[in-house]
Amino acid sequence: MNSLSCERVRESFPELLDPRTPAAALGEVREHLANCPACQREFAMLHRTLETLDGLPIGAPSPALRRDFYAMLEEEKHSATSARANAERDFRNRSRRIWRWVLAPAAAAALLLGGFLAGTRYSPAPAPAPIASDETARELRQLKNKVDRLDAMNQLVASALRDEQTQPASERLAGVMTSASVANPGNRVVDELITSLALDPSANVRLRALEALYPLAGRDAVRAGVLASLPRETNPLVQVAMIDFLAAARDREAKPALERMSVNALADQDVRAAAKRALAQL
Amino acid sequence: MLAVRDGELDALGELFERHHGPLFGFLVKLTGDRTAAEDLTQTVFQRMLKYRHTYRDDGSFTAWMYHLARRCAADHFRRTNAAPHPTDPAALSERADEAPHAATQATVHDDHALLQTALARLDHGDREILLLSRFQELSFAEIAVILDCSVGAAKVRAHRAVRELRDLYFQLQKQTPA
């Protein structure tokens, strides 16, 4: 046994019992513990207590929690303060878009024009033919280089913008497809799919997420997730797919929402028809 | 949360999906009441929306969330003026573990019920720090911020709470006929 007292060793028990502590840490304490039956008893009791505490069965919250949360979020989004904030944010985003799509090309054109004018204004006065042609040829080469560089830069910017708009969606779609391929998905995978269905800006990704949720329609949380996402959905295609899902899952809790949709004059005609069809099935 | 603060309320949906499970677990253990824990989880997210303008980017979101959760739970206990109730063993059986051998399952079941009772008998402050310290998401530095104390004090209090829980738990085990 090493020189550490039992008291000192027991003071280190919190670190020892903390799963975040690296296995190699607290070498002296571990060494003492390996050789001291009294400390071993004390440690074992604490360990068992915490193990039981960590293992207390909790289970998932009821589907009502998710439904109520999204209802609250919708309500807040439509409140006066949020509406104003949204309007301000949209204005900011629009300004940013204007900058990108109008001002940036305009700036590039101005630069080109500037280069051209500089090239013509400061070109040397007419001189003997051989000298003038050398000078002009050099300036023309410089100007051509500038234009080429600018062109390459524009292509780079356009490609970056294209990537920003397309690549994340395809990556997200790949993510959803990976989640969908899990044989027996746990809560985390299900949560990821429901999050994609509720929040992803791409209708394709949302549709793919919904498709992946079909085999899991027997789970309360899945049906509640789809039902909670339905009022937020704006794309008629996805709305119809969600309604079909709820009808196929025989989710009676969806009835009030479907009844509202079936008579909503602002809803798409196909959506209203799908809601009526689903109500007949339920 | 910064996006939510700046008006992108949909971003709160992502935070909800990521954090509501662990938060609910914390509140179930803290209150010993699943229904109250669900209500409190909802209240925490409600307060996030309400106080989103006060969120500052000077700590982790998780720490801020548990800070709000702690406040909500304190309000709950003030309202109900009651300590958490020990879980009904019958309710636990509905959520039993992976169902191994029947005898093992019964023992595990009893252990859980006893520990839940011991947890309910623990002083509220001890229960709180103990549960916060068992969350892998929170460091002691963050717990110290949540509880407004030093890191050292948080560690000492957490350890004292573990020892207190152990004493209550083993006392109950002795009282329970084998």
Q: Note the pLDDT tens digit of each residue in A54-72.
A: 888 888 888 888 888 888 8
CA A229, CA A217: separation in Å to the nearest integer? Answer: 14
Nearest CA in chain B to A67: B42
CA B22, CA B136: separation in Å to the nearest integer? Answer: 10
Shortest CA gap A281–chain B (Å): 31
CA B146, CA B133: separation in Å to the nearest integer? Answer: 11
Chain A contact set for B159 (CB, 8 A): 13-14
Q: Note the pLDDT tens digit of each residue in A147-178.
A: 665 455 445 434 433 443 445 676 777 777 77
Average pLDDT of the residues of chain B: 80
Q: Among A213, A211, A204, which Cα is nearest to A170's?
A: A204
B20 contacts A61 by C-beta, under 8 angstroms: yes
The CA R_g of chain B, rounded to the nearest whole Å, is: 18
ipTM of the complex: 0.75
Q: Chain A residues with CB-CB distance to B under 8 A? A: 13-14, 17-20, 45-46, 49-50, 52-62, 64-66, 68-70, 72-73, 76-77, 82, 85-86, 88-89, 187, 191-192, 194-195, 198-199
Q: Note the pLDDT tens digit of each residue in B117-174.
A: 898 898 888 899 989 888 767 888 888 888 888 988 888 898 899 989 999 988 888 8
- Cβ contact B41–A61 (<8 Å): yes
Residue by residue, what is the 3-state secondary structure of B118-130?
HHHHCCHHHHHHH
- Cβ contact B13–A77 (<8 Å): no
- Cβ contact B9–A76 (<8 Å): yes
B17 contacts A191 by C-beta, under 8 angstroms: yes
Average pLDDT over residues A229-255: 88
Q: Note the pLDDT tens digit of each residue in B47-103.
A: 888 887 777 776 678 888 888 898 888 888 887 765 555 555 445 444 444 445 555
The CA R_g of chain A, rounded to the nearest whole Å, is: 33
What is the amino acid identity at position B98? E
Q: Which of A8, A47, A58 to mutate to test the interface with B (most CBs of B within 10 A)?
A: A58
In the prediction, which pLDDT does B24 show? 92
